Each structure stands twice: as C-alpha cells, then as structure tokens.
Amino acid sequence: MRLTARSLRFVIFILFAVFFVVPMLWLFLAPTKSDGALVTSNPFAFGSFHHLVQAWDHLDSYSSHIYRKWIENSLLYAVSATAIVLATAIPAGYGLALGTFRGRKVILTLTLIVMIMPAAALVLPIFLELNALKLIGNVLSVILPFAFYPFGVYIAYIYYSTSMPRDVLDAARIDGCGEWTTFRHIALPLAKPVIALVLFFSFVADWNNFFLPFAVLAKSTQYPIQVGLSDLLSSTPSFNPAVGGAGQQVNIFRPELALATLLAILPVLAVFMVSQRALVRGLLGGGVKG
Amino acid sequence: MPFILPYLPFLILFGILPMVYALTLAFTTSKGKFIAFRNFTQAGNDYRFGPAFEHVIVYTSVWLGALIVFVVGLALMLHSRASKATATFRFLYYIPGALAGAASVLVWLFMLDPGVSPGTFLLKNVFGFKLFVQAIAPGHLPFIFAMIAFWTGAGGWIVVLYGALNTIPQELEEAARIDGAGALTIALRLKLPMIRKWIAYMAILSFATGTQLFVEPQLVNQASLGMVPDTWSANQLAYQLAFRYGKFNEAAAVSVDLLLIGLIAAVLIVTRTGLFRRED
C-alpha cells in the first residue's frame, strides 16, 4: 500500500517533469534540422551542425541583419535601464531602511503597491502619458519606464533594514564619516549580494518585456528581441500561410524561428540555471521575513 | 533624506503620474471636459468589450485553478519526501521560468503544431487536431494561454511554497506523527493551513496578472490569419482603442478598469496577507 502511494507520487513527478522539460528539449534540437526533417524525423533526434549553421545564416541575413540589431537593442535597453535602477534603487532602499524623514512611510507603501501590481496594468497608462509628452517612438520611452523598478528598491530596503548593523554605521559617523561616505564605503560594499540580485531581476524583467516596447516603439529597427520575435513569427509561412511566397524569399522557416527563440532566451536561461539557489533565496528573502 | 531623491522622479513619472493621467483621461472628453462615467459606459457598450473581459475571466479562472491544485499539490508532495530526487524535480519544473514574453508563446506554438510537435500523438489522437489552426481554435485559447502561463510560472511558485513549507518547525510534524497522523493528514491538516498566506498571495497576484493578458493573444492573432481578433483580451482592446482608433479617453477607461483590479489585488496582498514588511 505504502509502496503504491510512493510510486504513484513518482509517476506524477515524472509526468510533470516531461511537461516542463520536453518543450525546452525540443527547442534545443529543432534548429539542427531542416523544416522538412522537423516534420518527418523523431522530434528528439539531433540533426546536424550543418543545418544549425544554415539556420543561423538564414536568420542573420533576414531583413539586412535585423536580428543582430534586435539583440543589440535589447542589450542597450536592459543594460542602460538596469544601470539607472542600480544607481537609484540601492540608495533608495538604504534611505528608506535607515532614514527618518517625513513621507517615508508613504513612499514605502507606494513602492510596495506598484511593485505588487502587475506591470502590464501600467503599460497603457504609461503609453498614454508618453503619447501626451510626444515621446512615442523614442527609445527613452522604453529605457526610462524600465528604469523604474520598485522591486529593486524593496529588496534593498529589506536587506538594509534586516542585515545592516546600525552600530557599524554609527561607528563610521563617530569617526567623522559623512552620510555619503558612510554609504559609499560601508553600506554599499556590504550590499554586494543584493546588488547582484537587483541587477539580475531588473535585467531579466527588461529583457523579457514585450508589451511596453511593443506599445511605444514605432520602427522595427528599434525593436528589442521579444518584439522582434513577433515580427519574425509573421514572416514564417507555416504559422502564417498568407506570407507563403514571402517566406520562401526571406528563408524564415520553423528551424530559423526556433533558433531565433533559443538565442533570445539563452542568456537568461544560463544565469537561471547557474544561480538557481541564490535567486530563490533572494525571491524568498523578499517576503518570508514578514 | 537625499538617498531617495534619485528614485523619486521615477516613482512619480512612471508609477503615480500614469495612473493619475489615465484617471483624468477616463473621466473627461478629448477636449478635457468632465463627463463622469460616460467613457466607461461607452467602452462598456463596445461590442468587443464583453467578449474581451469574458475571455480574460475564463483564462484567469482556468489558470488559477491549475495553479492552486497542481502547485500546492506538487509542493506538498515534494516536501513530504525531501531527497536529492525531489530537488532535481524542483529544479526541472523551475527552468521554463527563464522564458517569458514572446519566447514562451513561440515555444508553445511549435508544441501545438501537429506537424512538428513532439506531442503529435496526443494532439492527433487524443484531441483530434490534425492542423495547427484546429489546435488554436478560438474555443481552446483560454486553456492554451493558461497552459503557457502555468508552464512558465508554476515552477517558481512551487519553489516559493516549498520554501514556505520549510519554515514550519520540524517538531510540529514530529509531534503529529507521534500522535499517529499519516503523511496525507500531516500534509492537509498541518502543512496546508500553515502556508495559507502564501497560497492567498499566489492566488491574488495571479488573478491580477491574469486579467492583464496581452502578449499571448497578440502573437496568436499574428499566427492565425486574423481568425483570433486583435482585441481578444481586455488589454488588447484598450491598446487598439488608443493605437488604432485614437479613442484615448475610452482606452483610458478600459485601462482604469484593469488598473483597479491590479490595485485592489496589491492593496489586499499588502494589508491582508502580512507577507510584506512596511515598518520595522
């Protein structure tokens, strides 16, 4: 009886593992095959490196190297926004945790509420605002909203209010350090793990964001990779028979689309797999301490 | 406190001001005249409004149901037998979390294409889909989107709930076992009530997130020859009203509806679950 319960549980675990892993596995293998082979061969067979290279050549030459441009754009938006996030969120978390000033509680509560609200709920209001400011189509209309990252402020706040020994700060002040020097030389170096967490989460959130850049950018050469993928999807004949002829010309078929998807997720996936433990601890650290 | 000064303009410009501006637009005409709820009724009478909210509600319910049943169930089962193997499972479930936005949708478009999917057998024989267009027929969409969202997000929630389960003192579990409670009783009577807060958090947050659906139907619209309208979800409708028809005030009204759902959910989580600290 015990044994059957245990094996039943194991079967359930395996079934879910299949559900979660198989699509990833398929994605890794698909670009190594031709479109025809994708249909006829075993879905989990490896094709050849030759096909992989060919798929990349097709993808790369699509619309005069626009794929590279999309990756560059994504990097530009995510890196510059994350840099601003680090410069604003870490000090803000520090200030909210250790400072006493009027309006502190209001700022903290607002930050918390905007952080928990689904980001997509703010996209259209931001779009309307930027539209009124005539900023639609400008890359700043992606970078600046990305640079507002309340979750980063909150992680820094939690860190400084729970793990920062006040005596150390007081000692620094007694030794004649000013507020800024204390932060720069004591508080900032202590927060390295938090800085890494904010960096990662902010970067990933920006890299994966679709809705905001989709709404506020006008030209396809400005697209980040996520929006670029949707553009590519429209050029793939098997998902969009209307472009059938055009698909032939641009050489974008399912292996190319799969490769485009795979390359788009690879950076995030790599960090995800390597630093799973640290990330989970960071995620939990955000809330468990309540 | 000078340390928060660099952050303030961002909080105001991209957190508070957009909400205030959307509210202002929603209650005025394009010339700025106050008209109370007229934009809301006008948008509400749009023939696409009802279906859009209906789609989103069906999708969100399916997703929430799957999350609550499977995530809680898996977390409890994994926790009742902690071992190297279960740690591996947790990790495997978590991997698709790296995918979001358009990438996860594309992966599932492949999975639903009977021509190339590794699940062709399932698609053809169990569900009877021989063609891609059959697989993404409008009636299936809420389920498909729920599955995509579950695929990317469930692993993360399992990890979170598992972490919460780990905070339950070992002695409690041992005491229950000495009293003769079996694994199932311990899971349902002891552990489940102790992670209630986290389940509530997951449910409220997912409900709010679900209602904002945008990227999934947007991509399926592009891959379906227009069979799926570009106003399938509420957020898409708001976007199209603004972007294509220039009806900014009506668009603002729809987005205020959605914003309210998000706001209420956030306030509920902050004030009721006690999971987030606001003061020392």
User: What value does the mean pLDDT take over residues B165-188?
Assistant: 88
Handedness of CA A234, A237, A238, A241 (dihedral sign): positive
Please answer yes or no on whether B109 and A120 come within 8 Å at the CB atom.
no
User: What value does the mean pLDDT take over residues B93-105?
Assistant: 89
What is the residue-averaged pLDDT of chain A? 87
The 10s digit of each residue's pLDDT in A18-76 is 999 999 999 999 999 998 888 888 888 898 999 999 999 999 999 889 999 999 999 99
* Å between A168 CA and nearest CA of chain B: 18
* Å between A194 CA and nearest CA of chain B: 17
Query: Is the CB of A91 inside 8 Å of chain B's CB atoms?
Result: yes
State the number of CA atoms in the 13 A half-sphere of A221 facing the CB.
3
The 10s digit of each residue's pLDDT in A51-63 is 999 999 999 999 8
User: What value does the mean pLDDT take over residues A138-146?
Assistant: 96
Please answer yes or no on whether B274 and A120 come within 8 Å at the CB atom.
no
Calpha distance B81→B103 (Å, rounded): 34
Count CB neighbours of B169 within 10 A: 9
User: What value does the mean pLDDT take over residues B100-120?
Assistant: 90
Please answer yes or no on whether B239 and A105 come within 8 Å at the CB atom.
no
Please answer yes or no on whether A121 and B258 come within 8 Å at the CB atom.
yes
* pLDDT at A282 (0 to 100): 57
Q: How confident is the model at residue A289 (pLDDT cuts 50, 70, 90)?
A: very low
Has residue A290 got a pLDDT over 50?
no
Has residue B113 got a pLDDT over 60?
yes
Domain residue spans of chain B? 57-232
Query: Is the CB of A49 inside 8 Å of chain B's CB atoms?
Result: no
Contacts of A236 (CB under 8 A, 6+ apart): A243, A247, A252, A253, A254, A256, A257
Residue B192 CB burial class (10 angstroms; 0-12, 13-18, ≥19): middle
Q: Any idea what the Cα angle at residue B249 is, between residues B245 and B251, rounded to 5°? A: 60
* pLDDT at B236 (0 to 100): 95
* pLDDT at A139 (0 to 100): 94
* pLDDT at A281 (0 to 100): 61
What is the residue-averaged pLDDT of chain B? 90
Calpha distance B251→B23 (Å, rounded): 11
Has residue B5 got a pLDDT over 50?
yes
Has residue A257 got a pLDDT over 90?
yes
Nearest Cα residue in chain A from B167: A288
Q: How confident is the model at residue A194 (pLDDT cuts 50, 70, 90)?
A: confident
User: What value does the mean pLDDT take over residues A129-139?
Assistant: 92
Least confident interval from A124-133, A156-165, A240-249, A264-273: A240-249
The 10s digit of each residue's pLDDT in A74-86 is 999 999 999 999 9
User: What value does the mean pLDDT take over residues B84-110?
Assistant: 89
* pLDDT at A153 (0 to 100): 95
pLDDT higher at B36 or A243: B36
All residues of chain B having their beta carbon less than 8 Å from the beta carbon of residue A147 are 10, 14
* pLDDT at A57 (0 to 100): 93
Query: Is the CB of A48 inside 8 Å of chain B's CB atoms?
Result: no
* Å between B111 CA and nearest CA of chain A: 7
User: What value does the mean pLDDT take over residues B153-174?
Assistant: 89
All residues of chain B having their beta carbon less than 8 Å from the beta carbon of residue A87 are 6
Q: For domain B57-232, give the fold.
A: MetI-like fold (1.10.3720)
pLDDT higher at A275 or A154: A154
Please answer yes or no on whether B116 and A104 come within 8 Å at the CB atom.
no
Handedness of CA B68, B73, B74, B78 (dihedral sign): positive
Has residue B254 got a pLDDT over 50?
yes
pLDDT higher at A290 or B147: B147
Please answer yes or no on whether B95 and A99 come within 8 Å at the CB atom.
no
Calpha distance B150→B147 (Å, rounded): 5
Nearest Cα residue in chain A from B4: A92
Share of chain A above pLDDT 90, in %: 54
* pLDDT at B121 (0 to 100): 84
* Å between B117 CA and nearest CA of chain A: 7
* pLDDT at A252 (0 to 100): 87
All residues of chain A having their beta carbon less than 8 Å from the beta carbon of residue B74 are 12-13, 16
Has residue B10 got a pLDDT over 90?
yes
Q: How confident is the model at residue A256 (pLDDT cuts 50, 70, 90)?
A: very high
All residues of chain B having their beta carbon less than 8 Å from the beta carbon of residue A265 are 98-99, 103
Least confident interval from B66-75, B82-91, B166-175, B250-259: B82-91
Q: How confident is the model at residue A284 (pLDDT cuts 50, 70, 90)?
A: low
Please answer yes or no on whether A121 and B255 come within 8 Å at the CB atom.
yes
Please answer yes or no on whether A144 and B223 come within 8 Å at the CB atom.
no
Q: Which residues pair with B28 in a beta bridge?
A: B34
Nearest Cα residue in chain B from A158: B277
Has residue A287 got a pLDDT over 60?
no
